[in-house]
Amino acid sequence: MSVTTSQQTCLSRKDLLERLCALASQGCLPQMLLLYGNKGIGKYKMIQKIIQHTLPASSTQAVHMNDTIQDQWPDVWQAPLDEDTLKRENADALRQHLRLQPARGPYRIVIIKDVERFSIAAINVLLKTFEEPPAKAIILLTSSRKDALPHTLLSRLISCYVPPLDTLSFCKALNHELAQSKTLSKTSLSNEECCKLASLCGGSVGEALFFIEHKELFFTLKDMFLAHNIHSALHSAHLANELAKRAKITTAPLLQAIEMSLNMLYRQKTKDSNHHPQTSNKLANQTQAQIHTIHHRRQLLTRYHKALKHKPVALNNHMILNALLSPTPSQS
């Protein structure tokens, strides 16, 4: 049993997890595995289940994914979650961890969550480790932006696409997360509202939670992108900047919110065009123009994500919001 590049695109979420857990139990898990897919769809929780199957059968200790996981299970090390970049000292800690012999289980395991947030310099420091990992080492990574990862890194990994949750699983997971949330525990959603959020957020529980917490910001971004004139767009951009400032949303989370807003608009526009194929030519052309603009703005976001890695202080919320209002190539 194995996971190959030809299989990864046709496996359902359930089949993928079952296959990876089976490989872990048999001691056949790929040494370097990347789980990628939309943000907030449970890639990290899948890693938790995979790790459980690498542990000795006699072990009854559950591994919980948090900042002190290595205190619970010494064979597991994870990059700190509260840092925007993987600093050199963390890369050194990773290599030191892998050089040690397993203390309890058969493997030394490294977890790197959201690897796309790490700087190119930090990734380059790790490439030598990725190229020749020790025999009893497993490196598990997650990413919501595989396209932002360098080829030099991807060429060393087995990549598995994680599909979004189905609507029923999404609603169950979302209500569970809301009940556990310190800030959103009083939020109550009907089944209809959950289903709408599942469609709006592409089955991503993480995106849905972010949307619920910052709903006013998302509606303002939507108004900005759909404004009929530059004055209305600039007004919405100013309001979005103020809302982000009030919620203490820095550049990286704002880029995430903008990307989510564009993805939501794209799903809405493509759904409308698919459900109403008999619309007038004028309306169809308007929809296609809006989809083209969304693609253009996505390309700008990709540039900003890369710029944020190299010169994070050179970007600010006001600059990004106003730059996104620049005309597309077809409009200029």
Residue 88 has phi, psi (to 5 degrees) of -60, -40
For residues 94 and 137, is the Cβ–Cβ distance under 8 A? no
Q: Which CATH number do you get for residue 23?
A: 3.40.50.300
63, part of any domain? yes
**Pair 84, 220 in one domain:** no
One domain, residues 123 and 53: yes
Count of structural domains, the chain:
2
Q: What is the pTM of this model?
A: 0.73
| Amino acid letter, 266 | Y
Give yes or no: residues 78 and 142 share one domain: yes
Tens digit of each residue's pLDDT, the chain (332 residues)? 445 443 344 578 889 999 999 999 888 889 899 999 988 888 988 998 898 888 765 554 555 544 445 556 778 887 765 444 455 666 677 777 788 888 777 888 888 888 887 777 777 777 777 777 788 889 899 998 888 788 888 888 899 999 988 899 899 989 888 888 888 877 888 888 998 888 888 888 888 999 999 999 999 999 998 888 889 999 999 999 999 999 999 888 888 889 888 888 888 877 766 655 555 676 677 777 778 888 888 888 877 877 776 665 567 888 888 888 876 554 44
| Cα dist from 186 to 3, 179, 181, whole Å | 42, 8, 9
Q: Domain span at residue 44?
A: 13-161
Do both 71 and 147 map to the same domain?
Answer: yes
Residues 141 and 62 in one domain: yes
Q: By three-state DSSP, how is residue 221 classified?
A: helix
Q: Which residue from 87, 96, 152 is spatially nearest to 119, judged by alpha carbons?
A: 87
* Helix, coil or strand: residue 304: helix
Instruction: Could you list the beta-strand ranges (E) of 101-256.
Output: 108-112, 137-143, 158-161
How far, in Å, CA of 15 to CA of 21, rounded? 10
Q: Are residues 127 and 221 in the same domain?
A: no
Closest listed residue to residue 9, CA positions, set 36, 27, 46, 29: 36
Could you tell me if 128 and 242 lie in one domain? no
Answer for the pair 63, 48: CB distance below 8 angstroms, yes or no. yes
Question: Do 56 and 142 sit in the same domain of this protein?
Answer: yes
Question: Do 157 and 255 reside in the same domain of the chain?
Answer: no
pLDDT number for residue 19: 93
Residue 147: closest CA among 129, 161, 130: 161
Say if residue 23 is in the same domain as residue 131. yes
Q: Tell me: do 157 and 233 sit in the same domain.
A: no
**What is the helix (H) or strand (E) element at residue 126, kind and residue range?**
helix 120-131
For 111, list phi and psi in degrees, rounded to 5.
Answer: -115, 130
Looking at residue 253, what is its pLDDT?
86
Question: What's the pLDDT at 73?
Answer: 73
Choose one of 123, 146, 161: the last residue of a domain.
161
Q: Specify the pLDDT at position 1.
A: 44
**Residue 197: inside a domain, yes or no?**
no
Residue 142 CA to residue 152 CA, distance in Å, equals 16
**Could you tell me the two tokens for 165?**
């949750």
